Amino acid sequence: MSHATTLAAPARRRAGDGGDRLFAGLCLGAGILVLLLLGAIILTLFLGGLPAFRAFGAEFLWSTAWSPVEGREKYGALVPIFGTVVSAVLAILVAVPLAFGVAFFLTELAPPWLRRPVGTAIELLAAIPSIIYGMWGLFVLVPLVQQYIQLTLGDALGAIPLVGFLFASNSFAGTSLFSAALVLAIMILPFIAATMRDVFGQVPAVYKESAYGLGCTRWEVMRGVVLPYTRVSVVGGIMLGLGRALGETMAVTFVIGNANRLPTSLFDPSTTIASIVAMEFPESLMGSLKQSSLLALGFLLFVISFIVLAISRLLLRSRLKG
Amino acid sequence: MQRRNLLIATGIAATAPLLGRPALAEQTPITGAGASFPRPVYERWGQAAREAIGVQLNYQSIGSGGGINQITNRTVDFGASDAPLAAAQLAERHLLQFPTVMGSVVLIVNLPGVADNALRLTPELVADLFLGKLTRWNDPRIAEQNKELKLPNLPVAPVYRADASGTTFVFTSYLARVSEAWKSGPGAATSVQWPGGQGARGNEGVANTVRQTPGGIGYTENAYATVNRLVTTQLRNKAGQFVKPEMPNFLAAAKAANWNAPNFAADLIDLDGPETWPIVSPTFILLPVNPTPDRLAGSLATMKFFDWAYKNGAEAARRLEYIPLPDAVHAAIRSAWAAVKSPDGKAIWTA
């Protein structure tokens, strides 16, 4: 064997060149494949949705109609878009402070013996399939929201002028925008918390110790040293969570109440793009206006996700420059 | 060596159950896809027919729309749909349509203190409950029909199927038939724009939401309501009688129907007759009239399967709360099968 190797040494060099080229080519191919796939998906969704865009024009974007009745079909995307964005934003509002607390606790406050179990528990939360969250939400969370949160909040806050309508609802089934946002918040919490914990842990100890040496409190160190140092990754983690919340399907379907009406209250039922596509797709005939409208909704979800991504990039860039 | 032994052992273990079955070679597999509503009865028939006539049914309940798509593309042997297809659509897709069993839709309520089948509803009340025109259960209009009941002062919480479904199609067809406001408003389809209430996924979702919401009212298939002992209601039929959702009343609807409608698209909604339950509907099979050569055996086996089911499956269907078709309809369906022809123009079904 060794004899053969020595003999083949010059040849091996050439073979190595070929291997390098092959490897580079494969990597290039993989990169291009992703681009092609993305392009193909966008194109498929757009072409599939084209008949709906043609039939309804720009009105598709702000129409609240969703009536598949034969002969007077009419579809609009406003309710699902509204539900998608509002439930995701609400989920972020609930999840980010919680995730920050978890990460702060795990990196700064928790005794070492507690860090591992709590950290593992957070990671396990991320491993639970979304259908389980949906079932748990429907059977456990929704009755709690219905009996305790909705009535309490409705009584206490419903009379406040200007914002009271947000809490007063005529729908008492418990499946609502609020329940959906709550389930989503729990689902995205582990992603955001895990990202934050990891990046908080990467802040060089020297920086923190210097700040402590100057007499800073823990909170001042967090605000003045850790957060500025990790801002990019923290925003990245939040965007990851937002992206997941926008596209989540099964869990939301179970608890949002699936009503194609514009909600006026947090406790009104609503629907999301992913949810309406999952609910209506099996009963849509190939080539029908309904299927085309569902594909158009998929395209719009793509656009929304893209806008979210673009905004996060923009935020990061302007902050980094400043 | 050890590994090879292990392989052989697992091989034997894997094939052993197959060897145990008689007449393995003669089993003809057929694939169907479509409506989820008749799935339990098709599966029960499939189990029995495998031993009786050697037809192995693989039924995928992906929804009527999916079933129609798949049979149009000829990727399955038969499609199944809860709603009948229009004659033009059948012709365009070269499909034969025939019914298998019937099912009924019932109303379920959650009213504390109101027993099963005690609440009496008229068609106008049902439409107005789902239209959001009646908002309280102690409304005088409801009380007028239910003088002996003490109805609670609860808000009406309508619950509907969030997923597009044949059940919704049947129920909204009924509402559109009995209420002009519903017909010109939400209309009849597998999913409609509901004026109020909550959507829940599947029969189980509707039942669960109604159970959790005092004042809730929803609709499910009768089979689901019976098996889960849900609180159902009486309904006033076209003859002006209040009827309970029970088998004799469903059979009365089947008897009153006009089965001579083209493509067997019989309409069983809101029929005449003192005992007739007003919300009954057949479920349909779609079979290509021009099966491709590689699907000839599957087409024949499909017809054999349903022929067997018509002869022997009525009891199993009834036990699952489905309503068997009248015998005269079975005979008519068998003669309609002559339309299914092989590429050389001969009818496949000869019996």
Residues of chain A positioned with their CB less than 8 A from the CB of B205: 138, 254
> How close does chain A come to B109, measured CA to CA in Å?
13
Nearest CA in chain A to B165: A283
Q: What is the pLDDT of residue B351?
A: 65
CA A24 vs CA A10, A15, A33, B298: distances in Å: 21, 14, 14, 50
> How close does chain A come to B83, measured CA to CA in Å?
11
Residues of chain A positioned with their CB less than 8 A from the CB of B208: 138-139
Q: How many CB atoms lie within 10 A of CB A102?
A: 22
pLDDT > 50? residue A145 = yes
Which of A65, A174, A254 faces B212 most closely, judged by CB atoms? A174
Which of A70, A257, A260 faces B193 most closely, judged by CB atoms? A260
Cβ atoms of B120 and B242 closer than 8 Å: yes
My answer on whether A85 and A157 are in the same domain is: yes
pLDDT tier for residue A16 given thresholds of 50, 70 and 90: low
Judge: B191–A283 Cβ closer than 8 Å, yes or no. Answer: yes
CA distance B7 to B9: 5
CA A139 vs CA A91, A177, A282, B203, B211: distances in Å: 20, 16, 25, 15, 11
Q: What is the pLDDT of residue B22?
A: 47
pLDDT digits (tens, 9 = 90+) for B207-246: 988 988 899 999 999 988 988 889 999 999 999 999 999 9
Asked, for residue A121, whether it belongs to a domain, the answer is yes
pLDDT digits (tens, 9 = 90+) for B71-123: 999 999 999 998 888 899 999 999 999 999 999 999 999 999 899 999 999 99
CA distance B112 to B171: 25
How many inter-chain contacts (A to B, CB under 8 Å) are there?
A: 106
Judge: B198–A171 Cβ closer than 8 Å, yes or no. Answer: yes
Judge: A282–B164 Cβ closer than 8 Å, yes or no. Answer: yes
Q: What is the pLDDT of residue A162?
A: 77
Task: Go through chain A and tell me how many residues it has.
Answer: 322
pTM of the complete model beyond 0.90: no
My answer on whether A275 and A300 are in the same domain is: yes
Question: Which residue among A19, A35, A62 closes a domain?
Answer: A62
Which of B155, B200, B216 faces A170 most closely, judged by CB atoms? B155
Judge: A269–B198 Cβ closer than 8 Å, yes or no. Answer: yes
Look up the ipTM and state it: 0.78
Judge: A258–B199 Cβ closer than 8 Å, yes or no. Answer: yes
My answer on whether A28 and A120 are in the same domain is: no
B164 touches chain A (CB under 8 A): yes
SS3 B182: helix
Judge: A286–B72 Cβ closer than 8 Å, yes or no. Answer: yes
The predicted model gives A193-201 an average pLDDT of 91
CA A74 vs CA A64, A175, A184: distances in Å: 9, 26, 30
CATH number at residue A132: 1.10.3720.10
pLDDT tier for residue A1 given thresholds of 50, 70 and 90: very low
Dihedral in degrees, nearest 10, Cα atoms B184, B185, B188, B191: 160
Asked, for residue A191, whether it belongs to a domain, the answer is yes
pLDDT digits (tens, 9 = 90+) for A55-89: 999 999 999 988 888 888 899 999 999 999 999 99
Expressed as residue numbers, the domain containing A173 is 77-321
My answer on whether A313 and A259 are in the same domain is: yes
Asked, for residue A220, whether it belongs to a domain, the answer is yes
My answer on whether A169 and A221 are in the same domain is: yes
Of B214, B191, B312, B38, the closest CA to residue A275 belongs to B191
pLDDT > 60? residue B250 = yes
SS3 A64: coil
Which of A261, A279, A282 faces B66 most closely, judged by CB atoms? A282
B216 touches chain A (CB under 8 A): yes
Question: Which residue among A16, A35, A62 closes a domain?
Answer: A62
Interface probe, candidates A172, A275, A283, chain B, greatest B C-beta count within 10 A: A283
B205 touches chain A (CB under 8 A): yes
* pLDDT, greater one: A51 or B64: A51
SS3 B185: coil
The predicted model gives A258-263 an average pLDDT of 89
Nearest CA in chain B to A284: B65
pLDDT digits (tens, 9 = 90+) for A23-50: 999 999 999 999 999 999 999 999 999 9
My answer on whether A197 and A53 are in the same domain is: no
What strand order describes the sheet that includes B234-236? B120-121, B234-236, B242-243
B105 touches chain A (CB under 8 A): no
Q: What are phi and psi of A225, to 5 degrees?
A: -120, -60
Q: What is the pLDDT of residue A94?
A: 96
Query: Which amino acid belongs to residue A73?
Result: E
Judge: A69–B155 Cβ closer than 8 Å, yes or no. Answer: no
The predicted model gives B337-344 an average pLDDT of 88
My answer on whether A46 and A83 are in the same domain is: no
Number of domains in chain A: 2
pLDDT tier for residue B126 given thresholds of 50, 70 and 90: very high
Residues of chain A positioned with their CB less than 8 A from the CB of B171: none
The predicted model gives A288-316 an average pLDDT of 90
Residues of chain B positioned with their CB less than 8 A from the CB of A72: 187
Question: Which residue among A10, A29, A62 closes a domain?
Answer: A62
My answer on whether A181 and A296 are in the same domain is: yes
A203: which strand partners? Answer: none
Asked, for residue A166, whether it belongs to a domain, the answer is yes
SS3 B313: coil
My answer on whether A304 and A159 are in the same domain is: yes
Judge: B199–A259 Cβ closer than 8 Å, yes or no. Answer: yes
Which of B62, B155, B208 faces A138 most closely, judged by CB atoms? B208
Residues of chain A positioned with their CB less than 8 A from the CB of B215: 172
The tokens describing B142, both together, are: 């409801």
Asked, for residue A307, whether it belongs to a domain, the answer is yes
Q: What is the pLDDT of residue B13?
A: 46
Residues of chain B positioned with their CB less than 8 A from the CB of A68: 164, 189-192
> How close does chain A come to B220, measured CA to CA in Å?
17
Helical segments of B107-201, H only: 123-131, 140-145, 166-178, 180-184
Q: What is the pLDDT of residue A2?
A: 47
Residues of chain B positioned with their CB less than 8 A from the CB of A272: none
Query: Which amino acid belongs to residue A51?
Result: P
CA distance B308 to B306: 5
The predicted model gives B318-333 an average pLDDT of 91
pLDDT > 90? residue A181 = yes
Asked, for residue A133, whether it belongs to a domain, the answer is yes
Nearest CA in chain A to B188: A69
B208 touches chain A (CB under 8 A): yes
Task: Go through chain B and tell me how many residues it has.
Answer: 351
My answer on whether A37 and A117 are in the same domain is: no
Of A173, A170, A167, the closest CA to residue A154 belongs to A167
Which of A72, A170, A283 faces B190 most closely, judged by CB atoms? A283
Residues of chain A positioned with their CB less than 8 A from the CB of B163: 279-280, 282-283
My answer on whether A58 and A89 are in the same domain is: no
Share of chain A above pLDDT 90, in %: 53
Asked, for residue A71, whether it belongs to a domain, the answer is no
Nearest CA in chain A to B89: A285
pLDDT > 50? residue B19 = no
B236: which strand partners? Answer: B242
Q: What is the pLDDT of residue B10?
A: 47
Helical segments of chain A, H only: 2-7, 9-56, 59-62, 78-104, 112-127, 130-136, 142-144, 151-157, 177-201, 205-213, 218-221, 227-247, 250-255, 273-280, 289-321
B95 touches chain A (CB under 8 A): no
B132 touches chain A (CB under 8 A): no
Report chain B's mean pLDDT, rounded to a whole number: 88
Residues of chain A positioned with their CB less than 8 A from the CB of B200: 175, 257-258
Residues of chain A positioned with their CB less than 8 A from the CB of B192: 67-69
Q: What is the pLDDT of residue B302?
A: 94
The tokens describing B251, both together, are: 């059979």
pLDDT tier for residue B21 given thresholds of 50, 70 and 90: very low
My answer on whether A106 and A241 are in the same domain is: yes
Asked, for residue A23, whether it belongs to a domain, the answer is yes
Mode of pairing for the β-strands spanning B157-161 and B120-121: unpaired
pLDDT > 60? residue A5 = no
B191 touches chain A (CB under 8 A): yes
